[in-house]
Structure 1
Amino acid sequence: MTGNAYELWTPAHRADPRPVYARMQQEARVVRLVEPFQQMPFWLVSRYQDVVPLLRDDRLTKDPYKLSEQARAQFLRYTHDGLSRHMLFSDPPDHTRLRTLVSQAFTPRRGEALRSRVITLATELLEAAIARGSVDFIDAFAFPLPVIVITELLGLPPEDRGPFRAWTHAMLVPPADGNPEPVMAASRSFLRYFTTLLERRRAEPGDDLVSAMLAVEAQGDRLRPEELISMLLLLLVAGHETTVNLLGSGLLALLQHPEQRERLQADRKLVDSAVEEMLRYCSPVEMSTARFTVAPTEVCGQVIPAEEMVIAGLMSANHDPEVFADPKRFDVGRTPNKHVAFGLGIHFCLGAPLARLEAKVAFELLLERAPGVRLAVAPEQLEWRKTSLIRGVEQLPVSFN
């Protein structure tokens, strides 16, 4: 079924796309849409019972390099070739090899040391925000917390963090005029940055993930240069983007549901389930990354031609009334809560534990030190990010007074 009637990219629908998803679920199991920024056609699966098997469907490929040159050029025209050889664009055995190498870099010792560092950073950022009285929560807390954590894990110097936000934003939201140059310029900047960084780390290894990945490589599990750089980009971008939107949208959900905020304030043991409900209700990753048909393939009763893109609607699935009772309700104690916010299967988000840790620490601190935080503008004044890949507000003005 074509999806001309399902508009997801106007400001009104970016503010709340859930009514459109609800209509999709009732009318069709799979819908063909066209993403307006790149004029990219894709098939969207919206029901939970269909999204779950799709995320595990090995008939579809994640690797655009298995497609014809013409199809690959279409799908990757906004992607620099040197940055597209990571886990999300690969199938086994390459995916297994790449994920194993990265997993080996996340040692237990690093994990044990991480929680105390996240607490220290979150405390410093929140105290600074409270001292200012009124801040943009995204700029003052939700962005710097995960970006500092992931850049420290990677061993990137603090003075290098400045451009990352602009480069990431450009790559995630291609320009509406169809001009690829801003996207490609950001890609080239990342490529130059990581090429230089790897040269430095090979000469002077440190106690960081980049050095650990190079050490694993030195043991014989070699990565091609473009694979290593692509993986570093993926770790940097995925290592903070999901958490930025989880923190911002999660706080907004609490502010817009005062009864749930009071419930959480009264029972701090609900923080874990509250974070899971934020992941479901807010769905910081709105749609999965792409899968491709290699040959004509039946998906949800629809035969999709070869070399077309298929995407799982994660937010839609997380609001499916067949699975979640009263899905419009934000419930910090919801259980069970089998959301798909981090995906499923072999491509389940490697950074999910880190995102959960950062969110739990952040909201525990907010409940303790900023119980009176409030939204400083009317909700309808908030601007939502234009891309449908991720979901979050551009700014979140709050007051601590």
Structure 2
Amino acid sequence: MTTTGSTARPYPFSPPDRLNLDPAYAEVRDGPLVRVRLAYGDDAWLVTRYQDVKTVLSDLRFSRAAAVRSDEPRARPLRMRPDVILSMDPPDHTRLRRLVAKAFTARRVAALHPRTEGIADRLVGEMLAAGAPADLVERFSVPLVIAVICELLGVPFEDRSRFRVWCEAIVATTAYTPGEVQEHTDALRAYVAELIELRRAEPADDLITGFVEARDDHDRLSEAEMVSLAMTLLITGQGATVSQIPNFVYALLIREGAWARLVADPDLIPAAVEELTRHVPLGEASDMARYALEDVELSGGTVRAGEAVIPFISVANRDPAVFDDPEEVVLDREYNPHLGFSHGVHHCLGAQLARQELRVALRVLTRRCPRLRFAVPEPELPWKTGSLARGLTALPVSW
């Protein structure tokens, strides 16, 4: 194995700095694989080149299931359960993915579009009526995304404050103690189990009812898989997009003329969403390790059977071997094969829903708030700490 040294480097390399990537990642990407050590679990090889990351994400010689059976390298204290879809390899993963994919058809996502746009328009109207300044996180991003995922899954919207805290704790690194993380995880699991029992008694046109029918009528889901699947979709369905809406707005407002360009040409918004998905890092680092089932040759060196690898999508998305001017936000970028929604068998199930929410958010905000701006100096904006997710805890804006 060709390495930069036998001693594992602490990872992540530095605390998160807004939406900026540590310059060390570019140096790592241009060299051989680097051994890293996270807060918990085994050492791993950090994979950052675009083609290598694609290989790790799609080549079945790299296993998520093997990672869960091992002491997988991770930033969070709790290990992932084996009945979670993110922990599975085919054929178990294929069985669950096929079931969930039925809810994320183009038809169903398109059917949610008018509802999403209506909610977004109402929220902005209420924000404008209340007057500036307003927190775009609490007044717009959180209620929009949670309303959509609640409607899809069949989760009561009035419970949003409860499961938002639970979901934040589950992706925490140091913001919560390990005991608190376990407590919140158990609370969310119990809550989802209660919802499942409710849907058994009172079926509805939602995804949780679909899971119940698959479990009870067709025996395609175990009870534990059903609970874990609903939890995973609730966590991922609201967490990422809640963060990325204000992140995208921030990324546009700090670049001279970017917001005004979308105001003047809203047809650019779909391309802008793809570009911001490429450029804006979703997490402060990466985990979700894979273990090599056999020796695999990557461009940065050979990963031996039994070794862990961590693909970092955010760095791969700025690989100059694939993207022209990778450090720039090019709103009309034409060639953009980014990995922002992952790749391979674990490609994000809700990618089309997330794209739709992000497009609707930018379209409504640019239409109704053409002069949107920060209500406080940019350096004073508050950012999350102690969490895997990068994002603003608040985004005070004026218009």
Same fold? TM cut 0.5: yes
Tell me which residue corresponds to 2:223. Answer: 225
1:236 maps onto 2:234 in alignment: yes
Select between 390-399 and 356-365 the one with higher mean Cα deviation.
390-399
Secondary structure (helix, strand or coil) at the match of 1:258 reads coil
Distance across 2 between alignment mates of 1:169 and 1:246: 15
Tell me which residue corresponds to 2:214. Answer: 216
Partner of residue 195 from structure 2, selected from 190, 197, 211: 197
Partner of residue 31 from structure 1, selected from 30, 34, 51: 34
Distance across 1 between alignment mates of 2:215 and 2:41: 39
Distance across 1 between alignment mates of 2:188 and 2:381: 30
Distance 1:269 1:304, change over 3 A: same
Q: Tell me if the contact between 1:31 and 1:44 (Cα under 8 Å) persists in the aligned partners.
A: yes
Select between 211-220 and 267-276 the one with higher mean Cα deviation.
211-220
Question: 1:210-241 CA distances to partner (integer Å, 9 max, x unpaired)?
Answer: 11222233342421111001100111111112
Could you tell me how far 1:348 is from its partner in structure 2? 0.6
1:284 maps onto 2:285 in alignment: no
Distance 1:312 1:117, change over 3 A: same
Secondary structure (helix, strand or coil) at the match of 1:398 reads strand
Secondary structure (helix, strand or coil) at the match of 2:45 reads strand
Q: Tell me if the contact between 1:62 and 1:89 (Cα under 8 Å) persists in the aligned partners.
A: yes
Question: 1:290-316 CA distances to partner (integer Å, 9 max, x unpaired)?
Answer: 212345655445444555432211110
Q: CA RMSD in A?
A: 2.6
Question: 1:255-286 CA distances to partner (integer Å, 9 max, x unpaired)?
Answer: 01132222222211111101111101113256
Q: Tell me if the contact between 2:167 and 2:235 (Cα under 8 Å) persists in the aligned partners.
A: yes
Which residue identity lines up with residue 245 of structure 1 in the other structure?
S
Distance 1:378 1:5, change over 3 A: farther
Distance 1:317 1:108, change over 3 A: closer
Question: 1:176-233 CA distances to partner (integer Å, 9 max, x unpaired)?
Answer: 68x4101101110011101111111111111111112222333424211110011001
Distance 1:50 1:384, change over 3 A: farther
Tell me which residue corresponds to 1:399. Answer: 398
Distance 1:40 1:257, change over 3 A: farther
| Identity between Structure 1 and Structure 2 (%) | 38
Question: 1:32-72 CA distances to partner (integer Å, 9 max, x unpaired)?
Answer: 22234x4764322111121111211211111147735xx36
Distance 1:394 1:3, change over 3 A: farther
Question: 1:103-127 CA distances to partner (integer Å, 9 max, x unpaired)?
Answer: 2344666334200110111111111
Select between 133-142 and 304-313 the one with higher mean Cα deviation.
304-313
Tell me which residue corresponds to 1:144. Answer: 143
Q: Tell me if the contact between 2:286 and 2:310 (Cα under 8 Å) persists in the aligned partners.
A: yes
Partner of residue 51 from structure 2, selected from 34, 49, 55: 49
Which residue identity lines up with residue 35 of structure 2 in the other structure?
R
Distance across 1 between alignment mates of 2:94 and 2:37: 32
Question: 1:332-354 CA distances to partner (integer Å, 9 max, x unpaired)?
Answer: 11111111100111111010000
- Normalised by the length of structure 2, the TM-score is 0.89
Distance 1:175 1:305, change over 3 A: farther
Q: Tell me if the contact between 1:287 and 1:390 (Cα under 8 Å) persists in the aligned partners.
A: no
Which residue identity lines up with residue 310 of structure 1 in the other structure?
V
Which residue identity lines up with residue 332 of structure 1 in the other structure?
L
Select between 147-156 and 351-360 the one with higher mean Cα deviation.
147-156
Tell me which residue corresponds to 1:155. Answer: 154
Which residue identity lines up with residue 78 of structure 1 in the other structure?
L
Which residue identity lines up with residue 337 of structure 1 in the other structure?
N
Could you tell me how far 1:322 is from its partner in structure 2? 1.6
Q: Tell me if the contact between 1:9 and 1:388 (Cα under 8 Å) persists in the aligned partners.
A: no
Tell me which residue corresponds to 2:350. Answer: 351
Secondary structure (helix, strand or coil) at the match of 2:349 reads coil
Give ranges in structure 1 of 5+ residues lacking alignment. Answer: none
Q: What is the aligned residue count?
A: 392
Partner of residue 96 from structure 2, selected from 95, 98, 101: 98
Q: Tell me if the contact between 1:172 and 1:387 (Cα under 8 Å) persists in the aligned partners.
A: no
Secondary structure (helix, strand or coil) at the match of 2:394 reads coil
Tell me which residue corresponds to 2:78. Answer: 78
Q: Tell me if the contact between 2:64 and 2:290 (Cα under 8 Å) persists in the aligned partners.
A: yes
Distance 1:140 1:33, change over 3 A: farther
Give ranges in structure 2 of 5+ residues lacking alignment. Answer: none
